[in-house]
Structures are given as structure tokens and as C-alpha cells.
Amino acid sequence: MISNSLSNVVIYLTLAFFLIIGIVLVKGGKMSKDQFLTARSSQSWKALGINFYVAGIGSWILFTLPTTAAYYGIYGLIAYVIACVVPLIVLIFIGPAIRKKCPNGVTITEFIKERYGRLCHAFVGIMVVFYMSITYISELTALGSTMTATYGLNSIIPICMTALVTTVYTAYGGLPTSMLTDKIQGWAIILLIVIVSASIFNYVNIDSNTIESSGLLQPTRIAIESFYVLTVAITGANLFHQGYWQRVYSSKSNKDLIIGLLVASVLILITFSILGFSGIIAIWGNLCCSNEAEYNNVFFSLTLPQKGWINVIVLILVVSLVCSCTDTLQIGLTATIVNDVFDNKIHVNYARLCVVILTIPIVFLASKNADIMRLFLIADLYSTIVAVVVMIAFIDRFKKYKTITQSKDSKQELSLKKDKSDSKEDIGIVIDSKNENINKTYAINGEERKFYINGYDCVIGMVVGIISIAIFGWIFHKDFYEGLALLLLPSGMSVEGESLGAFLAAPLGTLFGIFVSAGIRTLVNGSLRKD
């Protein structure tokens, strides 16, 4: 254990270091708005690997990973680690597709706007802001919990100072500053995790009798359910983590993007497994857990009894994790508001102001010390609803018009080709017989489909998805008010079948609502045409 005065010195020196790095090494005052929000096409796979890794972590990994392992055992831990890697694998496939479909974009919501229109775009934007705000609150809450429960400090001051420092350098340098500090923070985090983990495994004496009696190597129903719940929850949520999409657009090429995502996946797989297993080690070493509070701080039960220097390293690790996460969230939220709320029509200085304004209510809410795991689950639950909309947007069959590819050769004569599904139909192809070298191709709208999905269908589907959660809760608990309460997941993942049902009801209800809306509209339009 270290003294309060030493703890404060370590915190503020670490924050000062990141503040200096963030301001001195980036020329933020001369940036365009596009540079501020995207750092477009500027990053190699080496930079992207560590940046994608840092974008997916925060101080929450010191709480949720060990706690999950201590509660649900090795199967729960495996489920959590896999769930954290899957979103990056998904981005390997859809990242290049988004760059192609929306090359001048900044966030995933711009793809939604292009596909479904302004109404659905605004609705999805609200959901994205909600998710990222909850994540931001969770991160600062985790910092406050660490300062209070572990180091005996007043949590308000560290929360405010951390938010202030990241706000200053992010408002100054935007995404380039965030990515620069993330590189430094990322490698520092990996080094610190290695040092702390080595110290933990060297310090703990495992009781061989406890290994069997703990039951942590045996599967439980909740642990098995978590393979689906956590994978769907985290994948759906990370699709709307704008920090990821800003990095997608910052990559120099699709090759750099894919390699960077693979590097980040490996780093997450290794470090998350090590950190999570510390929760099991704590149980086997009889260092934890006799009550709920000890479960929530299981990682620190392994570090606090050790020598002072290891706790200094842990404190630096916590501050680094919080800074890396909060600056990513700040610039991601700013990009969402600038592009989705103001339709990308405000000056870059107002974008900087957004960073500052957003932080104030989030710091206030973080001081309330809510349940971190529950906050994440709530955000993840509603992200699965929006994820359905994005997945459908990729399916060309549900577009209003069939796609025709228009190609232009060197003599500016046109060659029209329908997509493969309509290749047998005669649509009047004109080809220059002397020169068939095609220089440019682009898509235009063809024949209108009878059945298609539009933005109104998606909005109705999302509303139905939310209602479906409450309906499932009503059926599950046989009580209407408990069904409504499930919208905020009051029990987290602790009740068998409850969270699984909620995470099934949300996307399936959304899918049902979308297709019912589209079907009714198709029938009505068909009747009107006949009349």
C-alpha cells in the first residue's frame, strides 16, 4: 500500500506527461476539420495495430475481466475474451466494405444516412451517442472506484483532473493527438501489464485443494450463456464505437487496416487472458472473495498486499488506461455530433467546443459510482438493436432499386451492365468494339424492387426491438413492471436465462419489426397501384 500523497504525485505526474505529449508533438492549431476528426489515410498497420488495441481497452479491464473469471470461472473468461476479439474480426470484413461504399465518411452513421436517409441516420446517431456516453461514464466510474476503494483517495478530484487533461489535448489536436498518445499509452500499458502479472503470479501461493473445490474449471449455465450474450453484446456495441471507425478511415490502405486489426486481436487475446486469469488465481490463493465488494475489486486484492513499487506501477497503469479510453471516446463523440447532429456543417473550432461541453455532464454522472458491469451491459443491449440495421444495410437485395454498374471507356462511350442477379435480362449494353478497355465504373439505380427496406422500416424495427425486451421480461418474470425494469438490466447477468433472453429479444424483435413494416408498406403500395 502506498500513501495518499505519493498516490496523488503519481497520478498528476502521469497526467502531466500525457498532456505535454498531446500538445507539444501535434500541430493542432493548423488542422482542417477532416484532419481533426479522421486523420484520413495517414496510418500504417504498425500504428493501427496498437491504436485498435488501445481503442478497445480501458481501466474496466482491471474490473470486469478478473471479476467475470472469479464469478463464472474459466469458461466465463474464455467467453469474455472471445467476445472482445470478435468485433475486430468483424471489422476485417466490413471495414474495407464501408471504406468503399462511403469513401468520404467519418463514422459508421454516415453509411446509414446514405443507405436509409436522414431520419434513420438521426435515430442511429442518438443510439450511438447513448452507447459512447455510457462507456465514457463507465470508464470514469472505474477510475473513481479504484481511487476510493484501493488507494483511499477522494474520487472526484482524479476524475475531474483526468477528464480535464484529456479534454485539453483532445480539443487541441483531435484524432491525430488521440492516436499519438494512444501509441505511447498502448505500449506502456502492455509493459505494465506484463510487470504486474509477473508480480502477481510470483506472489500468490495457490492452495491445490481450492482448485477443485472452487468449481472455476467447471462449466455453468450462465458461463455457457455468456458465449452468446457477451459476443453479441460486445460485437454489437463496438460496431458503434466511433473510435474504431475513425481508425478505419485513418488507415493508408485496406491491407494496413486488415493487418492492424489482426495485430490488435492478438494483443487483446493475450493480455485479456492474462488479466482475467488473475481473478481465478485470487480465488485459488484464498485472497478473495468473501463479499460482493471483494469480487468487484478482485484484481486489487492481488496487488495491494505487495510492495509499494508494484502499486505505483498499478496506479500508472490505471491512469494510462483511463486516458487512452477517454480521449478516444471524446473525439468519437465529437465526430458523431459534428456529422450526425450538425450534418458536418460547423467549423472545426465548434467541434473542439463539443469535446469540452460533452465532458461536463459525463463527469457529474461518473461521480455517482454506478455498477460498471451493468452500465456496459445496458449500452451493449441497445447496440444490438442498431447492429441489425447496419447488417441489413449491407444486403443489396433489400435496397429500393436494383443496382446497375455503369462503365466508361477511354472514348467516353458507356457500357451498362446489370449486377449478377439480373445478368440474363437485356438492358441495352453498348460496347465500343475498337476499344474495350474500361477506365471507370460506378453504380446507378436500376429498376425499382417490389419489396425493399427503407429508413422508416428501420426506425419502426428499432422501436419494436426495445418493446420486445420489455415483453420478454414480462413473460419471464410474469410481472409487467419487472418486464419494464428489464430495459435497464437491474440484475446484470446474475439471473439464469434473463440476460440471454433480453439479448435475443432485442435483435430478433428489431428484425421482426423491420420486415413487418416493410411487408405492410409493400401490400399497401401494391393495393394503391391496382386502384
Average pLDDT over residues 509-519: 96
Q: Which of 157-171, 194-208, 237-251, 348-362 has the lowest mean pLDDT?
A: 348-362
Write down the pLDDT at residue 420. 43
**pLDDT (tens digit, 9 = 90+) per residue, 363-419?**
888 887 777 677 778 888 888 898 899 889 888 889 888 766 665 554 444 444 444
pLDDT higher at 511 or 130 = 511
| pLDDT tops 90 at residue 482 | yes
Cα–Cα dist 417/431, whole Å = 10
**Residue partners of 8: CB distance under 8 A and separation at least 6:** 153
Write down the pLDDT at residue 119. 84
Q: Are strands 438-448 and 401-409 parallel, antiparallel or unpaired?
A: antiparallel
Domain ranges of the chain: 34-365, 401-448, 455-530
| pLDDT tops 60 at residue 440 | no
Write down the pLDDT at residue 418. 44
Q: Which of 162-176, 193-207, 361-375, 445-459 has the lowest mean pLDDT?
A: 361-375
Query: What rounded mean pLDDT belongs to the chain?
Result: 83
Task: Decide if 60 contacts 211 (C-beta within 8 A).
Answer: no
Q: Which of 131, 120, 118 is nearest to 392 (CA)?
A: 120
Write down the pLDDT at residue 22. 86
| pLDDT tops 90 at residue 530 | no
pLDDT higher at 438 or 491 = 491
Place of cell 488521440: 178
Write down the pLDDT at residue 293. 67
Q: Which of 22-26, 147-151, 248-252 has the lowest mean pLDDT?
A: 147-151
Task: Decide if 493 contacts 377 (C-beta within 8 A).
Answer: yes
Q: Specify which residues 57 forms β-bridges with.
A: none
Cα–Cα dist 76/68, whole Å = 6
Domain 34-365, classified CATH 3.30.1330.10, yes or no: no
20: left (phi over 0), alpha (psi -120 to 50) or beta: alpha
Write down the pLDDT at residue 414. 42
Q: How confident is the model at residue 33 (pLDDT cuts 50, 70, 90)?
A: confident
- Record the pTM: 0.79
Q: How confident is the model at residue 50 (pLDDT cuts 50, 70, 90)?
A: very high
Share of the chain above pLDDT 90, in %: 29
**pLDDT (tens digit, 9 = 90+) per residue, 101-133?**
888 777 788 888 888 988 888 888 887 888 888
H or E, element range at 514: helix 498-530
Q: Specify which residues 43 forms β-bridges with.
A: 251
Cα–Cα dist 121/103, whole Å = 17
| pLDDT tops 50 at residue 432 | no
**pLDDT (tens digit, 9 = 90+) per residue, 320-351?**
999 988 888 888 888 887 777 777 777 767 77
Task: Decide if 88 contacts 264 (C-beta within 8 A).
Answer: yes
Tell me the torsion sign for CA atoms 520, 522, 524, 530.
negative
Write down the pLDDT at residue 16. 94
Share of the chain above pLDDT 70, in %: 89
